[in-house]
Structure 1
Amino acid sequence: MAPSEERVLSIQSHVVFGYVGGKAAVFPLQCLGYDVDVVNTVNFSNHAGYGRSGGSKTTAAELNSIFASMEQNELLMPTRLLTGYIPGAEALSAVEKLASKLKHARPSLTYLLDRESTVMGDAGRLYVAPDVIPVYREMLPLATIITPNWFEAEVLTGVELTDLASLRKALSILHTEYHVPNVVITSIPLRQWLVDCLPSPIRPPHGDHILCITSSTADAHPSGTPSLVHAQYVATIPGYFSGVGDLFSALLLAHFHPHEPPKCPGATVLSEAVSKALVKTHTMLQLTHERASKLPEDERHPSDDELDGADPLRKTRRMRGRELALIQGQDIIRGSGLDDTRPLKEWITFWSQ
């Protein structure tokens, strides 16, 4: 099915200014040919990184009212579902019930359940109430693809990732206990144990890099291993960015075509989609960083909690200058002139080394 024949239901946060949540996801999906129906789970002036914001959260009752009216009017007809930040267990349960209903009505529905750092947590810290975690776990079997970061993978599986054995265990839990066919672990810090076990084609050179790992059970493997694992690294870009995970997940969903065979030998449908999303996201960050580096000096001040506290606009100007350059980079979204020569590589020895 061509993108022009598909419809995405996006249930995510909304900000008036800037590009996070739905503002980072909907435009790229539309650029790539998808019709997108949008449900806002919050309506805020700007993202939380600014230090202050105004607006409101959408209640479970309001979400249920929207879903019910759409169903009554026969407007609930997505072929793809994308969910992001949903505040609170009650609202999340409303979304879980909708996802279950949609999946039952259309088993072929492609559902990307996004829990990037703005959704659950990062750097050892939860961004949501603990009562949300059990609901997320209940939603996992509904998902076609999940995209946790390193910390979120630990929270969901209860496995601290300290070596290759624990990484294998976490992926096994997600695949076998929660029945998720496609797992993407994003923004992985390259700790020494991980660098040591990476095969040479995937091992990064010196410098700061992060790793992305995919694991898919959807494609049969001749060796009978639990899943096909692929990985690739990208160089880190200095500075603080928001909405990166939302953009990445939207691009991943857009490029994921489960009924088309992979074009590259050894690839999976998942690894090819992630390759495209990773290249485009990284190129967009480079463009954003380049634009930010040319801003006036008072919009490029480094983070300083004391100075930011004394002058809140100091932080505002810095955040404002680092919003994703989505409009300026729409050719990147469409793939114009991109060097797509860095596909994810199969980690052949992942389950055996």
Structure 2
Amino acid sequence: MNSGRILSVQSHVAYGYVGGKAAAFPLQCLGYDVDVVNTVHYSNHAGYARAGGTKTTAAELREIFESMERNELLNPSRLLTGYIPNAEALSAVKGLAEKLTSENSNLTYLLDPVMGDSGRLYVAADVVPVYRDMLPLSTIITPNGFEVETLTNISLTCLDSLLQALTKLHVTHRVPHVVISSISLQPWLARMLPPDLRPTDEADHLLCITSSRRDDGSETPFRSTIHAQTVPLLPGYFSGVGDLFSALLLGHFDPSTPPSTALPRAAAQALARTHAVLSRTLEFSRSLPEEEQLPSDDEKDKQNPLRKTRRMRGRELRLVQSLDILTEKRDREMVELPGIWDVSMN
């Protein structure tokens, strides 16, 4: 069982499990006290046909942080930040991160740069440069493949481009630990994996990659320690998956162990538990009445918004029902790719 306080700054929904609601309960199950600051207050996540609520302004965020400090309540051992809708609010969170990291050199800060996926931003474009400025403050970042491209301005099309992006994040932006939480297992990515890690059905898998800057930082040319693991795609649309993964990763990360092992061990636990929760959620959704399992159809969903609502409702993460998954150790490990930097040079 872990101990310590985690300050979580991300979105909130009244119904369902995304953002802070996908993070707080799993972290509490791991033994952490979790202080929650909401960057938005919505009825439900954006995957539903309709949603209502408000965004927390930068002034309101600063007032919350300042009041916590005045009351001597701003003393986390770990910081987790996720969805923040605009640059003004993100700048307020950046100020908080600067303060906490300057006051506590042992703070573990996981920055999840939630910006978009599948080639599309779903936040204001002006957050991108602010996120780049925040990268040196972080201990760990957890972008997906699209977010790596957005942060680095490097398209991930081959092994060399992947290593260039990782180098830029580690060297230019001084990030100690990078986790690419999910990227489609394209043929060029599959080729870099050892044979026993390559699935026969590559198109039906995602890849998770971890990269840790080596201790002394003096190696020339730059090298990092890279691990990877594949995970089968599950059919359908789920929300809150990245939020859950990042929370579990932070909760399992042990900064007292060597950097080359701390990150892959935490990622292995986060990946296995997240996939198990998703599998349980999928199993539950398949037990629902037929009208709550109807496939996506934009035209029909537009004509009857409740059609989409019922489908989304049945795919909310089954977190409370997964207490056993969240608290039991999972055994699947990340696999080191020790020769990947040499392969790219040939």
Query: TM-score scaled by structure 2?
Result: 0.95
Q: Give the gaps of 5 or more residues in structure 2.
A: none
Distance across 2 between alignment mates of 1:188 and 1:85: 19
1:333 corresponds to which of 305, 317, 326: 326
Distance across 2 between alignment mates of 1:198 and 1:30: 35
Is 1:346 matched up with 2:336? Answer: yes
Distance across 2 between alignment mates of 1:179 and 1:223: 14
Distance across 2 between alignment mates of 1:222 and 1:229: 17
Would you say the 8 A contact 2:181–2:209 is kept in 1? yes
Distance across 2 between alignment mates of 1:173 and 1:221: 14
Aligned to 1:244: 241
Aligned to 2:169: 174
1:201 deviates by 3.3
Partner of 1:329, secondary structure, is helix
1:222 deviates by 12
1:288 deviates by 0.3
Would you say the 8 A contact 1:157–1:174 is kept in 2? yes
1:150 deviates by 0.5
Query: RMSD in angstroms over aligned alpha carbons?
Result: 1.6
Partner of 2:197, secondary structure, is coil
Distance across 2 between alignment mates of 1:81 and 1:67: 13
1:181-237 deviation per Cα after TM superposition (whole angstroms, max 9, x unaligned): 000002110111222232223322225111000000155699976110000001111
- Count how many residue pairs are aligned between Structure 1 and Structure 2: 341
1:248-270 deviation per Cα after TM superposition (whole angstroms, max 9, x unaligned): 000000000010358xxxx6110
2:87 corresponds to which of 69, 86, 89: 89
Distance across 1 between alignment mates of 2:215 and 2:22: 30
Partner of 2:38, secondary structure, is strand
Distance across 2 between alignment mates of 1:326 and 1:23: 10
1:136 corresponds to which of 101, 109, 131: 131
1:310-351 deviation per Cα after TM superposition (whole angstroms, max 9, x unaligned): 10000000000000000000110001xx651x2000011110
Read off the aligned partner of 2:186 and give its amino acid letter. Answer: R
Is 1:226 matched up with 2:223? Answer: yes
Read off the aligned partner of 2:212 and give its amino acid letter. Answer: S
Summarize the Cα distance change of 1:32–1:210 in structure 2 as closer, same or farther, 3 Å threshold: same
Distance across 1 between alignment mates of 2:138 and 2:214: 13
Distance across 1 between alignment mates of 2:54 and 2:340: 45
User: Which segment is superposed worse, 249-258 or 123-132?
Assistant: 123-132
Read off the aligned partner of 2:2 and give its amino acid letter. Answer: P
1:139-181 deviation per Cα after TM superposition (whole angstroms, max 9, x unaligned): 0000000000001000100101111110010000000000000
Would you say the 8 A contact 1:221–1:227 is kept in 2? no
Aligned to 2:2: 3
Partner of 1:49, secondary structure, is coil
2:267 corresponds to which of 266, 274, 282: 274
Is 1:217 matched up with 2:210? Answer: no
Partner of 1:258, secondary structure, is coil
- Listed as ranges, the matches of 1:1-353 within 5 Å are 3-4=2-3, 6-115=4-113, 119-206=114-201, 208-219=204-215, 226-261=223-258, 268-335=261-328, 339-340=330-331, 342-353=332-343
Would you say the 8 A contact 1:219–1:268 is kept in 2? no
Summarize the Cα distance change of 1:65–1:222 in structure 2 as closer, same or farther, 3 Å threshold: closer
Identity fraction in percent: 62
Would you say the 8 A contact 1:221–1:228 is kept in 2? no
Distance across 1 between alignment mates of 2:19 and 2:311: 19
Read off the aligned partner of 1:209 and give its amino acid letter. Answer: H
Would you say the 8 A contact 1:284–1:324 is kept in 2? yes
Distance across 1 between alignment mates of 2:58 and 2:341: 42
Q: Give the gaps of 5 or more residues in structure 1.
A: none
Read off the aligned partner of 1:310 and give its amino acid letter. Answer: Q
Segments ≥4 residues shifted beyond 3 Å: 218-225
Distance across 2 between alignment mates of 1:305 and 1:132: 29
Would you say the 8 A contact 2:87–2:126 is kept in 1? yes
1:63-117 deviation per Cα after TM superposition (whole angstroms, max 9, x unaligned): 01001111111110000000001111010000000100000000110000012xx
